[in-house]
Amino acid sequence: MKLIILDRDGVINHDSPDYIKHPDEWVAIPGSLHAIARLYQAGYTVAVASNQSGLARGLFDITALTAIHQKLRKELAQLAGAIDAFFVCPHGPDEYCLCRKPLPGLFEDIARRYDTELTGVAAIGDSLRDLQASAAAGCTPWLVQTGNGAKTLKQGGLPAGTRQAVDLSDAVEQILTKTV
């Protein structure tokens, strides 16, 4: 199985310090949906692993989150692409759950769902916690410089073996052409 794991906010769509609370606030980063479509067309199973503490904070509900993901799926379908599954941590940072990145719980859920090992699976994120969670799960962490990625790179402390890309399109190009 060819599997890839993506963070959502800052990787696929523009992030906001005020959270993405409504489908109208969800705006794809240029080229990101084309990149996902390329992966899907190349036979990859595409999973999204995303902290969504706005749920715990009461900023939006599961209906709004579902509508956001439906918008993403609809725009992606127009490009002959798809996301196979969304794995979401709905907890706040003070709830100390096992699924909130930087812990690897969401990644372990993905491994169980697809009955696969994650060793070497590309996991693309824009924050240190994305990279830490993916590395803890055995994935190959990829840092994109969209979203919080440039700040994350500047802060340093990246897990060993972290690969870098300008954006999701660049990461997908590198993965598909095996130039890494």
- For residue 86, give the H/E element and its range: strand 85-89
C-beta separation of 13 from 29 below 8 A: yes
* The token pair that represents 168 in the structure block: 């999701």
Q: Check 7, 109, 130, 167 and give the catalytic one.
A: 7
Query: 55, 89 in Cβ contact below 8 A?
Result: no
Distances (CA, A) of 67 to 32, 61, 172: 19, 10, 26
Which among 9, 15, 109, 167 is annotated as catalytic?
9
Report d(CA 42, CA 37) in Å as an integer: 8
Would you call 61 a catalytic residue per the annotation? no
Identify whether 170 is a catalytic site residue. Answer: no
For the chain, what is the largest distance between any 2 Cα atoms, rounded to a whole number of angstroms? Answer: 43
Please name the residues in contact with 53: beta carbons below 8 A apart, sequence gap of 6 or more.
Answer: 89, 90, 91, 92, 93, 100
Give the catalytic positions in this structure: 7, 9
